[in-house]
């Protein structure tokens, strides 16, 4: 699939696709073009069997400073509605991708930036990351669905009603962010995690994501049925017996090394 991109960069290395928001001069503000390109790159990742994990990162000092307000100044009511629909399509493209998506937030993630990050499966952030939902202050409605599902309705209402900024550690405490790293470690840690996920069976990872996402939408009984169907598909489509055998050999090897280590330690102690 040939991509023509002006607001993003996209590349695949070692089964990891990296989507980079690339409007640093505009602090990666989300405009109409970026909305469309996010849909395009997610479709590209979905149809590329070489891609097993997607990282969403950003160029410049900000992850995404929100919607492009300069673009909105000349919009009519109809234009604004169409633009919001384009934004919803971009977030949905991230969210519905069957492969894991990790947001790597190194700086400000405001408004639309929070939505891009929240549409990912989870967020890794640097110490310098900051978050804000300014929609109410702008006289508009937004971010009312993903945020409550992540942090709960009471905290979501506070963040939405006040539009206050909060740092990565508070985001971690409320469950919006999974891990916080020093700024100089964030990229390496994100790639290490993506590499570990990419090493797993792609079918098993896809079915696990599907089971979690689908199960949350229904009853517990329905969720168990979803998982059972996923288990059956995985048994038919993966070499699970070889994986278990390999795990057993690795565990035995680890136990043997540990035993040898204890023996060596005891011998050294006896000789002292």
Cα–Cα distances (Å) from 136 to 36, 111, 168, in that order, read 25, 10, 22
Cα dihedral 139/144/148/153 (nearest 10): 60
Query: What is the C-alpha separation between 107 and 128, in angstroms, rounded?
Result: 5
Contact of 167 with 183, CB cutoff 8 Å: no
Cβ-proximal residues to 265 (8 Å cutoff; 6+ apart), any chain: none
Q: Please, what is the end-to-end C-alpha distance for the chain in angstroms? A: 67
Q: Which residue has the tokens 């204890």?
A: 262
For residue 115, indicate whether it is catalytic: yes
Contact of 190 with 232, CB cutoff 8 Å: no
For residue 232, indicate whether it is catalytic: no
Catalytic residue, candidates 71, 135, 158, 217: 135
β-pair partners for 17 = 12, 54
Question: Between helices 32-47 and 77-96, what is the axis angle to 10°?
Answer: 20
Catalytic residue, candidates 71, 95, 115, 170: 115
Give the catalytic positions in this structure.
Answer: 115, 135
């Amino acid at each position: 699939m040939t991509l023509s991109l002006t607001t993003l960069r996209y590349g695949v290395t070692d089964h990891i696709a990296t989507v980079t928001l690339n409007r640093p001069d505009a602090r990666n503000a989300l405009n109409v073009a970026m909305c469309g390109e996010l849909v395009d790159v997610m479709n590209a990742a979905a149809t590329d069997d070489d891609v097993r994990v997607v990282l969403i990162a950003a160029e410049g000092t900000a992850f995404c400073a929100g919607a492009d307000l300069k673009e909105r100044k000349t919009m009519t009511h109809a234009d604004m509605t169409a633009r919001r629909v384009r934004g919803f399509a971009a977030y949905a493209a991230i969210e519905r991708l069957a492969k894991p998506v990790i947001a790597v937030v190194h700086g400000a993630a405001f408004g639309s930036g929070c939505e891009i990050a929240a549409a990912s499966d989870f967020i890794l952030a640097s110490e310098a990351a900051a978050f804000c939902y300014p929609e109410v202050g702008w006289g508009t409605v937004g971010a009312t669905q993903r945020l409550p599902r992540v942090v709960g309705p009471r905290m979501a209402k506070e963040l939405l009603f006040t539009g206050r900024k909060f740092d990565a550690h508070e985001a971690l405490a409320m469950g919006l962010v999974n891990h916080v790293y020093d700024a100089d470690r964030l990229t390496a840690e994100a790639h290490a995690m993506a590499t570990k996920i990419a090493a797993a069976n792609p079918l098993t990872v896809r079915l696990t994501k599907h089971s979690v996402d689908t199960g949350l939408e229904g009853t517990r009984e329905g969720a168990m049925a979803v998982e059972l169907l996923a288990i059956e598909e995985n048994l038919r489509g993966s070499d699970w017996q070889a994986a278990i055998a390999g795990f057993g050999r690795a565990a035995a090897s680890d136990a043997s090394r540990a035993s040898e280590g204890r023996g060596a330690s005891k011998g050294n102690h006896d000789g002292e």
